[in-house]
Structure 1
Amino acid sequence: MKTFVAVVDQKSFTRAAASLNLSQPTVSSHIKNLERYFDATLIDRSPKRFHLTKTGEIVYQRSRQAIGLIDKAVQEVSEYQRELGGLIRIGASYTVGEYILPPILKAFDQAYPSVDLQVRIENSKRINEAVQHHDLDVGLIEGKVTQHGLSSEPFMEDEMVVLVPEAHPIRKQSSITFADLQDQTWITREEGSGTRAMMDSMLESFNIRPKKMITIGSNHGVVQGVKAGLGLSFLSKTVVCHTGVEHLIMQLPYIKTTTRYFSIVTPMNREEISDSVDKFLEEVRALHQLSKNY
């Protein structure tokens, strides 16, 4: 029927074949089969003209209706399948949960309004453990995934920067030596945090010896600590930009800023991932497309 409609619309077997990506003999065979089915000539194919018979007119109109109904059925089934339901239990580390996740949730909720969303925000280690124990369906975290049975996939790059209080003596120096970076007070996140792991790695890599470490269990608390002059910090630029403290960023000699990745964490066994979670992961990837060269 689709071939017949194309032939009539194009008024040519050759053009219909091209539009359907079929050979002309295949198109002719389709029309002959249809005529055999109805036991009637549908097209007057004399050398000088292309003309529908009366029977052909009836079959053409009904064919158009039938094709329209099929297309409508395909559309309705597709829309029904998109109407996913149930609950997705999402875990997020503090940086991701507070600043990256909300726009993702909004986009997903608009696309799949029948799916309920439950979000837990904790440090990366606890989110990984909850996904591992099936207390959460998916995690969006910073830092490494070391737990057995988990699969991880980076979805967004993030830069780590040094924050220095506005009134800190180091800002007043015309030049800064390596010795000046030693014995400073640093404000950091708690153990198990991806941000804490990045700071520990930075201090070790650049041989920075802290005088004192002040641990605060939230990004907001760390930012407020730097603003209050408690000490320096090594924090996500995502957090810095969302909290409006870009003016506290300072490039220090001997310390290079570095990048890390935020990652999707799911059970390694694909059969444990529901259709709803799969759609949620598609939304994350669509909003934060990484180059495949990461």
Structure 2
Amino acid sequence: MDPKLKYFKTFLVASETKSFSKAAKILGITQGTVSNHIATLEKYFDAQLFVRTPEGVELTPEGKILYEKAKAILDMVEEAKILMKSLSEVPEGTIRLYASTIPGEYILPSIIKEFKEKYPSVDFDVNILDTERCYKALEEGLADVISVGYLKSKDYDYIIIGKDRLVLIVPPNHPFAKRKSVKFEEILNEDYIDREEGSGTKKTIEEALNKKGYSMMDLNVTMRLGSTSSVITAVSEGYGISIISEIPAKKAESAGLVRIVPIEDLDITRYLYLIKSRRPKNPSAVKTFWEFLKKI
């Protein structure tokens, strides 16, 4: 059996105290355990490490060699522990972050900026993809953390970083634009611009419709687009209406590109999540980022 690290610790204490019984007392173990640790080391190195004397035990020449090397090994292990701890206190390196559109473009930039002001040695490699591809990157070990608006399973290690409401947007000259609100059934008669498969926004809308007894098949989908910005552009140019995140919708409305119209009988609210890989490439930086987010 190969010796464990604690066996060397036992050996060092026995060497310094020159007593198995004193070593046992200091280490909080039995004298029999001390003897067992020493016997394992002697068997492994095929050498006698101690000789008994009237005063206790003394190191043999072989034991003196092991003492010097074992002390150096344990000192290096302790140094490594100190360095690792300092790395978690002052993290550095890169965090690979994959995010869907809304958290990636509207939530995370300010969070990352605030984090880097405190931890300037940490960099972020950010990729904006749809929700499904973010999850795939996490599962394939390409991402240390992902941020999405749809939680596939509560088995993931996650924290909530924000809340988002989905709203109806229409062209500024659309008949709905002059209305204070519309009913969901009225939307079914309009050309609808959908997000692509894999979008977290699309998944959230699907679940909301299912709860009302509808499905995406009930919408008159005329096109599917790969980003929120492209949906806003299409709506502003009169190609149809759509349901998107309220965050970019308000900015587009302020710019005069679209109008937000409340839906009387459909309120879609979701959370935005940060999900951590079980085996991040830079665990100390990810841990620090995680703890930072928990406090804000």
TM-score normalized with structure 1 length? 0.62
**Aligned counterpart in structure 2 of residue 182 of structure 1, from 181, 184, 188:** 188
| Cα distance in 1 between the residues matched to 2:238 and 2:173 | 7
Task: Give the equivalent residue in structure 2 for 1:262.
Answer: 272
Please identify, of 100-109 and 152-161, the stretch whose mean Cα deviation from structure 2 is larger: 152-161
Kindly report which structure 2 residues correspond to 1:214-225, keeping only aligned pairs within 5 A, or say none.
Answer: 214-225=223-234
Counterpart amino acid of residue 190 in structure 2: Q
Please state how far the C-alpha of 1:179 moved relative to its aligned partner.
5.3
| Cα distance in 1 between the residues matched to 2:261 and 2:186 | 14
Aligned length: 208
Percent of counterpart pairs with the same letter? Answer: 28
| Cα distance in 2 between the residues matched to 1:167 and 1:258 | 25
Please state how far the C-alpha of 1:173 moved relative to its aligned partner.
6.8
Which structure 1 residue ranges, 5 or more long, are not aligned? 1-77, 288-294
Moved over 6 A (4+): none
Task: Give the equivalent residue in structure 2 for 1:276.
Answer: 285
Task: Give the equivalent residue in structure 2 for 1:103.
Answer: 110
Which structure 2 residue ranges, 5 or more long, are not aligned? 1-84
Kindly report which structure 2 residues correspond to 1:6-25, keeping only aligned pairs within 5 A, or say none.
Answer: none
Task: Give the equivalent residue in structure 2 for 1:164.
Answer: 170
Kindly report which structure 2 residues correspond to 1:111-260, keeping only aligned pairs within 5 A, or say none.
Answer: 111-146=118-153, 150-171=156-177, 180-206=186-212, 207=214, 209-245=218-254, 248-254=259-265, 256-260=266-270
Counterpart amino acid of residue 253 in structure 1: E
Change (3 A) 1:133 1:179: closer
RMSD after superposition: 3.0
Please state how far the C-alpha of 1:226 moved relative to its aligned partner.
1.5
**Contact (CA 8 Å) 2:88, 2:284: kept in 1 or not?**
no
Task: Give the equivalent residue in structure 2 for 1:7.
Answer: none
| Cα distance in 1 between the residues matched to 2:278 and 2:139 | 9
Please state how far the C-alpha of 1:155 moved relative to its aligned partner.
2.4
TM-score normalized with structure 2 length? 0.62
Q: Deviations over 1:145-174 (max 9, x none)?
A: 249x74333221111111122222334579
**Contact (CA 8 Å) 1:91, 1:136: kept in 2 or not?**
yes
